[in-house]
Every structure is written in structure tokens, then in C-alpha cells.
Amino acid sequence: MRAVAYAPGRVELLGNHTDYNQGVVLAAAIDRGLRVSGEPRHDGRIALRSASLGQFAIDFGDLRPQRQPTWVNYPLGVVRELVEAGIPVEGFSAEIEGNLPSGCGLSSSAALEVATAFFLLQLFEAELAPMQIAKLCQRVEHRFVGVQSGLLDQVTSIFGRAEHAVFFDARSEEVRAIPFPPGLALIIAESGSKRELAAGIYNQRREETRAAAATLGLAALRDISPNELAERDLPPLLRRRAAHIAGENDRVERALTLLGQKDAPGFGRLMNESHESSRANFENSTGQLDQLVELARDLPGVFGARLTGGGFGGATVTLCESAAAPQVADELGRAYARRSGVHSRIFVCRLSDGAEVLAQ
């Protein structure tokens, strides 16, 4: 038997670092992703192959996190979590391919986890509910990779819907598809600086937001509004972190109304506010990301721009008129190259459907 599965990357639109603070997020699956295909084997081995990442093999009974190459920890972690969930997974060979760049904030790691999970469930004829798969893949990040990430990336990769944003409430686990206004495009621009969340900065921000909530006597920063926060005492660093999370939750709620009204300029202003908060309050932007955002906002047809994903490098997302998108992408790339010396990969993306098992 042969199995094939695909999972898309995602772009975060609003709700930066809110998911692990029990908050709300707006994101979207994009038309770039990863495909995992292969067949079972009967020698007790797992063999992984990627044209861009290399090859790796390990005995099934020797599953453990690898120092090098680190990319294999995502599929290996999925194997271990499936086994611990009682799914009868055995040895297999798999090939990984796709057009989703890694390390730039588009959740290539979550796409690899989700595609691997869908592939293995098909290969070994097992089933899990979509949210169970998302949580299983999140546990891979926590227990096999060492990043205490939220659930947004896996949820968006699984529940994405063409021409819709994904609204996710991390506390209630509500997922809703929100129609995205026609005539708009999203442009992804890589900064040239790759992210490395496992290096500890991401986990540090999680600890800072947890400390802010505890100091305020809250279960999570989801439970305070920007106005309420202004009336409370906090140390300066924790205040900035809390202000970012409270502001992002508020921006997501406002964005739902704006999307319903097809108000692209209003939505773009929220994206601009979000990036400024990332820069000043959460300090997860970089000089390169700031440059891309600044350059994008000056171009005709653009409504707003911000970093996307965890930050600390990676990529930006720009909202603009569909008709202007090709020219905006071209001009943004040339302007950024002149300013930074970096020839960035920039592309227009569509909001796409989520993960799926493909025909064999």
C-alpha cells in the first residue's frame, strides 16, 4: 500500500502570540505546502528523504530527538505521538517535497507534522478527529522539539478553507471559517533572516506572558482588555508583553467586524497597529522585518503590513488590492534589495484549503 498526504503552510493575519495565552487568532492556510508520500517497510526502519533537506534513517525502536539533522524531529515526533496514542504505526519509507520555505514564519514545521500525521493515518488505516491530530502535532513541538508553541499553526493547516480566514479561539477551541473579502491579495516577503524558535526566545516570551498573567491574578492574558490593563500596576517589561497580547486579542475581535463589512482599509490599519506592537511591546520584530513593512506601506494599493508568525526573523505579510499585487511584489523586492542588499523571495498567495489525503 502507498499513501500520500498534503498539508499547507499558514499565514498569521492578526493575533500574534495570543494562542498560548488562551486568546483569539486570525490566520489562513496558503497555497504552498508539503507533501509526504511513501509505503510501509518490514525491516523495523524509518527512512525519510527530501531533495532539499537530505536523507535520514533510524530503527523504529530507537525513536528519540536528533541533534542533527533537526528537521527529522518533526516526522519522528509524530510517529512517537501516534504510537503513544495507540495507533499501530510500524516502519515506513517516506519522501517529503513541496514549495513551502522553511524558517520564515509560514509554519513549515506544522505543515510537516500535519502532512506526516495524515500520511501515517492513511498508511496504517487509522483515524483521528481533526482537532485530535492538531493537538497530537502540538505535542510533538512540546515534547520532541522543545518549543512550547500554541495550537494555531496546526489548526490552521488542518482547518483552512479556500478564500476564508480561520478564526481560532484557543480557550474554547472554536474554529470558524471567515469569508475573506474579494479583490484582495496577500503578499509574503521573506526577510532573509531565518527564525529559530527552539533557541529559547519563543519560550522566554511564553514565560514572560505567563508571569504577567500571574502578577495580575489572571488565569491568562486573555482575561484583560487594553483599557483594564491601563489601570493595573505591572513592571515595565511585563506591561509591554501584556499590552501586546491584550491589544492583539482586541484587534482580532475588531477585525471580525471589519471583514464582515469588507473594510480592507480598516483591516490594514489593524495589521499596521499589530506590527508596531510587535516592534515596541513584544520585541519580536527585527530591523529587516521593519524595513519590509515600512517599504510595503508606501506602495500604491497596499492597505497594511506586519510580521507574520512568531517573529525574531522570518517574513512579513502585506494586504493589498489583487490588481496591484504583482507590481507591489516586484517593487517591494527591488526596494528591499536596494535598502538591505538582500534579494528576498516574495510571492503572492491565495487563501487555500487545509490538509488532505491525496489519491494514490
Verify whether residue 153 is a known catalytic residue. Answer: yes
Backbone angles phi, psi at 105, to 5 degrees: 85, 15
Residue 174 CA: distances (Å) to CA of 4, 110, 355 = 29, 19, 18
Catalytic residue among 19, 59, 62, 153: 153
**Residues with Cβ < 8 Å from 356, sequence gap 6 or more?**
5, 6, 118
- C-alpha closest to that of 33 among 147, 143, 119: 119
As a whole number of angstroms, the distance between CA 36 and CA 17 comes to 28
- Please give the single-letter amino acid code of residue 344: S
As a whole number of angstroms, the distance between CA 271 and CA 156 comes to 19
Q: Please report which residue ranges of 124-263 form alpha helices under DSSP H.
A: 130-140, 152-159, 201-216, 226-230, 236-260
What are the residue numbers of the active site? 153
